[in-house]
């Protein structure tokens, strides 16, 4: 395949149908996806509480790139490409750890945590250390979330975060800590993984836990965000009544929908949980300290998408954060992070099992259906099929993706 073939293929894709097989299987397209889609987005890859002490670091690996995210002095957090400026060796080889100095394992050039070079043995007299700092990766911390952008020319972060800002801020994530983190390695293309995340058509057959916490009318109308399903008069009524109650409490209501195609694919909304549920637990009862600006339980749910690769699904007392990392044509790393108030103690202020119950079970079920989907899509008999009224979110994601890919080829 070359770019001309790909442009023709993009043109052939039908609205309200799934994509042609090559989009889920072709390595040439996958490499372009990384370069032209993932690398251009601001993506959150962790929370500051993962690296609380001076020298704590973790690696974020994507495609051929490896980024060292490390805490330095005065609460500064740096992101460096994990590539030695001498002859290119990876410097940090462990996924996470603590380092007071970044020493290359090959010839022992050493770097300070800010990326500047500390020492380089036996170099010529005219070697100028200041020219050989580690290459920086774009990084911004927002509400404790560590966002990176692998583009040489990143979009302005403030513009990017502005529409979802108030929704994230309300939950006080800057004053939170990671209660649990888990990977769900999924044998499916990143687009199949996200297709599944962008529709709730499958929720009724696949997710009894999700359906126990969320109202059936919400699932139809809003399951994958506002404007992603058919309108439900019943849910509209429920939402209006809840909005009135919540506004009286001084809490946030409302939604943000991207009005037209642009660089970003963001969304945010606050909606009520199923009647009688306070939070996303089996009993529906609160399990942890209230977070952020909540004065009391409003029994609501905040769903935020900052890019296709990240979602924040937040109750009043905990938040579940998703990062989708494309690994290869047929493999995606799904990472979930559960955040609670930083002063909350496990066993005393919150129960981990109850907190992770719903999204753990739901993500395990999603992993299975995505893998079954990928296997079927590989067949010589696979053809794109028609989408339902409950898959508008998938169509939105798909057309955003195709347009971006197409623009990057011109």
What is the smallest separation between the CB atom of 210 and Fe ion, expressed in angstroms? 7
Count of residues binding ligand FES (CB under 6 A)? 10
Decide which of Fe ion, ligand FES, none touches 378; Cβ closer than 5 to 8 Å per partner kind. Answer: none
Rounded CA gap, 394 and 15, in Å? 11
Read out DSSP for 41-107? S-EEEEEGGGS-STTEEEEEEETTEEEEEEE-GGG-EEEEES--TTT---S--SSEEE-SSEE-TTT
Cβ proximity to ligand FES: between 114 and 258 the closer is: 114
Contact call for residues 348 and 179 (beta carbons, < 8 A): no
What is the smallest separation between the CB atom of 86 and ligand FES, expressed in angstroms? 3
Cβ proximity to Fe ion: between 113 and 192 the closer is: 192
Rounded CA gap, 35 and 250, in Å? 43
What is the smallest separation between the CB atom of 247 and Fe ion, expressed in angstroms? 31
- Provide CB contacts within 8 A for 302, sequence distance 6+: 167, 170, 171, 252, 268, 269, 270, 312, 313, 314
Residue 38: alpha-carbon gap to chain centroid? 11
What is the smallest separation between the CB atom of 131 and Fe ion, expressed in angstroms? 50
Cβ proximity to ligand FES: between 66 and 332 the closer is: 66
What is the smallest separation between the CB atom of 84 and ligand FES, expressed in angstroms? 3
Decide which of ligand FES, Fe ion, none touches 109; Cβ closer than 5 to 8 Å per partner kind. Answer: ligand FES
How many other CB atoms are found less than 10 A from the CB of residue 139? 19
Read out DSSP for 328-362? ETTEEEEEEEEEEETT--BTTTB-HHHHHHHHHHH
Contact between 86 and ligand FES (CB under 6 A)?
A: yes
Of 27, 106, 182, 403, which one interacts with ligand FES (CB under 6 A)? 106
Sign of CA dihedral 95, 100, 102, 103: negative
What is the smallest separation between the CB atom of 110 and ligand FES, expressed in angstroms? 9
Could you tell me which stretch among 3-11, 37-45, 81-89, 178-186 binds ligand FES (CB under 6 A)?
Answer: 81-89
255-257/176-186 β-pairing: unpaired
Cβ proximity to ligand FES: between 68 and 252 the closer is: 68
Burial group, residue 193, by CB count within 10 angstroms (0-12, 13-18, 19+): buried
Contact between 107 and ligand FES (CB under 6 A)?
A: yes
Could you tell me which stretch among 102-110, 140-148, 287-295, 306-314 binds ligand FES (CB under 6 A)?
Answer: 102-110
Contact between 81 and ligand FES (CB under 6 A)?
A: no
Decide which of Fe ion, ligand FES, none touches 107; Cβ closer than 5 to 8 Å per partner kind. Answer: ligand FES
Cβ proximity to ligand FES: between 90 and 165 the closer is: 90
Could you tell me which stretch among 100-108, 185-193, 244-252, 329-337 binds ligand FES (CB under 6 A)?
Answer: 100-108
Of 37, 79, 84, 219, which one interacts with ligand FES (CB under 6 A)? 84
Of 366, 367, 373, 398, which one interacts with Fe ion (CB under 5 A)? 366
How many other CB atoms are found less than 10 A from the CB of residue 60? 21
Of 19, 67, 77, 104, which one interacts with ligand FES (CB under 6 A)? 104
Rounded CA gap, 22 and 96, in Å? 35
Read out DSSP for 105-155? TTT--EE-TTS-EEE-TT--TT--GGG-PPPB-EEEEETTEEEEE--SSPP
Residues at the contact surface with ligand FES, assessed by CB under 6 A? 84, 86-89, 104, 106-109
Residues in contact with Fe ion by CB under 5 A are 366
């Amino acid at each position: 395949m070359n770019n001309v073939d790909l442009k023709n293929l993009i043109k052939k894709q039908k609205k309200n149908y799934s994509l042609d097989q090559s989009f889920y299987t072709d390595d040439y397209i996958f490499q372009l996806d990384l370069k032209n889609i993932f690398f251009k987005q601001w993506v959150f890859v962790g929370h500051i509480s993962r690296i609380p002490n001076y020298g704590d670091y973790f690696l974020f690996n994507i495609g051929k790139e490896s980024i060292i995210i490390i805490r330095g002095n005065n609460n500064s957090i740096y992101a460096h490409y994990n590539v030695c400026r001498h002859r290119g060796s990876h410097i940090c080889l462990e996924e996470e750890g603590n380092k007071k100095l970044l020493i290359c394992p090959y010839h022992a050039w050493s770097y300070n945590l800010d990326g500047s070079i500390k020492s380089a043995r036996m170099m010529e007299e005219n070697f100028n250390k200041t020219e050989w700092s580690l290459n920086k990766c774009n990084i911004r911390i927002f509400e404790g979330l560590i966002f990176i952008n692998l583009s040489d020319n990143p979009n302005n972060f403030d513009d990017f975060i502005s529409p979802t800002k108030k929704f994230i801020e309300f939950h006080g994530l800057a004053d939170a800590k990671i209660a649990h983190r888990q990977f769900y390695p999924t044998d499916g293309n990143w687009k199949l993984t996200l297709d599944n995340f962008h529709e709730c058509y499958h929720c009724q057959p696949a997710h009894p836990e999700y359906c126990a916490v969320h109202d059936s009318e919400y699932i139809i109308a809003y399951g994958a965000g506002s404007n992603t399903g058919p309108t439900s008069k019943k849910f509209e009524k429920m939402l209006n009544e809840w909005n009135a109650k919540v506004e009286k409490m001084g809490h946030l209501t409302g939604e943000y929908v991207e009005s037209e195609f642009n660089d970003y694919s963001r969304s945010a909304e606050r909606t009520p949980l199923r009647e009688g549920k306070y939070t996303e637990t089996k009993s529906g009862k609160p399990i942890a300290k209230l977070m952020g600006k909540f004065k009391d339980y409003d029994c609501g749910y905040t769903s935020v998408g900052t890019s296709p690769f990240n979602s924040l699904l937040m109750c009043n007392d905990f938040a579940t954060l998703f990062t989708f990392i494309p690994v290869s044509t047929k493999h995606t790393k799904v990472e979930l992070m559960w955040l609670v108030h930083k002063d909350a103690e496990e066993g005393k202020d919150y129960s981990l099992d109850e907190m992770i119950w719903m999204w753990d079970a739901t993500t395990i079920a999603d992993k299975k259906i995505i893998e079954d989907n990928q296997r079927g899509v590989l067949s010589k008999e696979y053809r794109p099929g028609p989408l339902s009224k409950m898959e508008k979110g998938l169509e939105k994601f798909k057309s955003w993706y195709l347009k971006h890919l197409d623009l990057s080829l011109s």
